[in-house]
Amino acid sequence: MTLNRKIILSLLASLGGCIAVHAQEFKVPASHAAIHQDLIASQANIGKQIKVEDTEQFLEGLLNEEDIEPEIDIYTEGWNSKRVNPYGDAVVPDTKDIDVSVFAMPHPGYVTSNYGYRRRFRREHKGIDIKAITGDTIRSAFNGKIRLTSYDRRGYGNYIIIRHENGLETVYGHLSKILISEDQYVKAGDPIGLAGNTGRSFGSHLHFETRYMGVPINPAAIFDFSNQTTHTDIYTFDKRTYKKARNYSDAANRQYMAKYREEHKEQFAAASKKASKGNGTTYRIRRGDSLGKIAARNGVSVKQLCRLNGLKTTSKLQIGQVIRLR
């Protein structure tokens, strides 16, 4: 028997003794004796139904909550505000049902780069890229708590990681500005940052990841970006299939892209004009440009341009490509 049980049993035993003593001291007036006896008789059956034969057994039932293992607090278990993946060697279950019914799209843009291996960079792309104009509002995908905000010059740039109530974590990269702070609670749809082109980025967009216990899931397995919703209310994580998109179609994405660009054509035109002039931080490649010419016009070195944009001095520049200057 645990210490808590002993204490409660002792208290109830004492209480029972007090009740017995007071019962003996209380006497029913003679004039009410008959009524009193009738009342006792009428309640006899009920008394039998609720009578407790074994007090300790009864208390064991009341106290069985102590034997129930409490649900793991997702905001303390493996909580680390310095690492992208704080789970280390934690055992990931083979399958897990995850509630994604309460959600918000992080940004309404179209997909510009899918999840998976990138031959150009010879590495895995652990999320997807969503078209966004610098300054666009980025929102939390689910309810949760900000675990990490940081800057990664060679990767995410300004980024945010949120741990959600449903067990997922989401990553938002290349932001121009972070609007929240670590340990802050946010709801699905709350603004958390502004889109940008920071870090290892070749044009303004949102890099978006969905993770479960550190495992990067294909966001297209959860979200239908062409229809701006989730595929189902419950996403089933599976170690065998988490890299696969669900019902993804390049044709549907292109159709959505055309619709989105038409609806936002004024914003795209303004952003393109600003980029072509140069805004001090980015530059859009034009015909006849070279790294040397761009560096000279903007007061930076070729070495700096290469470092910021992952280029070599011999890299071929594409007309319309946006590169970072600073």
Which domains does the chain possess?
Answer: 3-67 (no CATH), 95-258 (2.70.70.10), 276-324 (3.10.350.10)
pLDDT band at 98 (very low <50, low <70, confident <90, very high): very high
Least confident of 38-42, 110-114, 140-144, 292-296: 38-42
Between 72 and 130, name the one with better pLDDT: 130
Report how far residue 241's alpha carbon sits from residue 88's, in angstroms, rounded to the nearest whole number.
21
pLDDT, the chain, mean: 81
pLDDT > 90 fraction of the chain, expressed in percent and rounded? 48
pLDDT band at 213 (very low <50, low <70, confident <90, very high): very high
Least confident of 32-41, 125-134, 172-181, 243-252: 32-41
Whether the pLDDT of residue 229 is over 70: the answer is yes
Residue 31 gets the label, from left (phi > 0), alpha (psi -120 to 50) or beta, of alpha
pLDDT band at 51 (very low <50, low <70, confident <90, very high): very low
What pLDDT score does 14 carry?
53
- Give the tokens for residue 114: 């899918």
Query: Which residue(s) pair with 159 in the sheet?
Result: 150
Whether the pLDDT of residue 290 is over 60: the answer is yes
Whether the pLDDT of residue 128 is over 80: the answer is yes
pLDDT band at 132 (very low <50, low <70, confident <90, very high): very high
Report how far residue 40's alpha carbon sits from residue 24's, in angstroms, rounded to the nearest whole number.
16
Whether the pLDDT of residue 117 is over 90: the answer is no
Three-class SS of residue 283?
strand
pLDDT > 70 fraction of the chain, expressed in percent and rounded? 76
Whole-model pTM above 0.75?
no
What pLDDT score does 298 carry?
80
Q: What is the mean pLDDT of residues 82-87?
A: 90
Whether the pLDDT of residue 133 is over 90: the answer is yes
Burial 188-201, CB ≥16 within 10 A → b, else e: bbbebbbbbbbbbb
For residue 219, which of 291, 307, 114 has the smallest C-alpha distance?
114
Report how far residue 255's alpha carbon sits from residue 67's, in angstroms, rounded to the nearest whole number.
56
